Chain A
Amino acid sequence: MEKINKGELLYLKRKANWLRRTVLEMAVKGKSGHVTTAFSLAELFVALYHGKILNFDSENPQWENRDRFILSEGQAGLGLYPVLADVGFFPLKDLDNFLGEESTLGVHSEPHTKGIDVLTGSLGHGLPIATGMADSAKLDGKSWLTICLTGDGELYEGSNWEAMLTARRLGLNNLVLIVNRNHQFTIGFTDSCETQRDVYMDPLPEKFQAFGFETRTANGHSFPEIFKALSSIRGRNSSKPLAVLMETIKGKGASAIEGKRGWHYKVPTGEILEAVMAGLREEEQKLEAQALKGGAL
Chain B
Amino acid sequence: MLISADNGAKSMDQISELPGQFRNVGIAEEQAVGMACGHALEGRRVWIYAIDPFITLRCLEFVKLDMCAMNLPITALGVGAGYAYDIMGPTHHAVGVIAAMRVWPNLTIWSPADNMTAEALAEISYNHNGPQYIRFDRGYLPNLYENNKIDFCSGVGLACKGKDVAIISTGVMVHQACRVADQLEEKGVSARVIDLFRLKPINQNFLFQYLEGVDKVVTLEEDFLAGGMGSAIAEVFVDNDYRKPLLRIGQRDTFVFDLGGREVIWKKYGLDVESVTQKILNWT
A residues adjacent to B (C-beta < 8 A): 111, 117-119, 122, 124-125, 127-137, 139-140, 146, 158-159, 162-163, 165-166, 170
Contact = CB atoms under 8 A, between A and B. Distances in A.
B44 interface: yes
Interface of A, helix, strand, loop or mixed by DSSP? helix
Contacts of A136: 38-39, 42-44
Given A128-B34, A132-B36, A135-B23, 8 more contacts: A132-B37, A135-B35, A135-B38, A159-B30, A159-B34, A165-B28, A165-B31, A166-B25
B44 A129 contact: no
A278 B70 CA distance: 41
Contacts of A137: 42
B26 interface: yes
Contacts of A135: 23, 35, 38-39
A137 B46 CA distance: 15
26 contacts: A111-B70, A117-B41, A118-B41, A118-B70, A122-B65, A124-B30, A125-B34, A128-B30, A128-B31, A129-B35, A129-B37, A131-B38, A132-B46, A135-B35, A136-B38, A136-B39, A136-B42, A136-B43, A137-B42, A158-B30, A162-B28, A165-B25, A165-B26, A165-B31, A166-B26, A166-B35
Contacts of B65: 119, 122, 125
A128 B37 contact: yes
B51 interface: no
Contacts of B44: 136
Contacts of B26: 162, 165-166
Contacts of A159: 28, 30-31, 34, 62
B42 A129 contact: no
Interface centre among B30, B33, B38, B41 (most CB of A within 10 A): B38
Contacts of A166: 23, 25-26, 28, 31, 35
Interface in B13-67: 20, 23, 25-26, 28, 30-31, 33-44, 46, 61-62, 65-66
Closest 4 CB pairs of A and B: A132-B38, A128-B34, A136-B42, A162-B31
A125 B62 contact: yes
B12 interface: no
B69 interface: yes
A136 B20 CA distance: 9
A125 B42 contact: no
Given A119-B69, A122-B61, A125-B62, A163 B41 contact: no
A55 to B, nearest CB: 16
Given A131-B38, A132-B42, A136-B38, A125 B31 contact: no
A192 B44 CA distance: 43
A165 B38 CA distance: 16
Nearest to B37: A129
A133 B25 CA distance: 15
Nearest to B29: A162
A135 B31 CA distance: 13
A136 B23 CA distance: 12
B31 A130 contact: no
B17 to A, nearest CB: 16
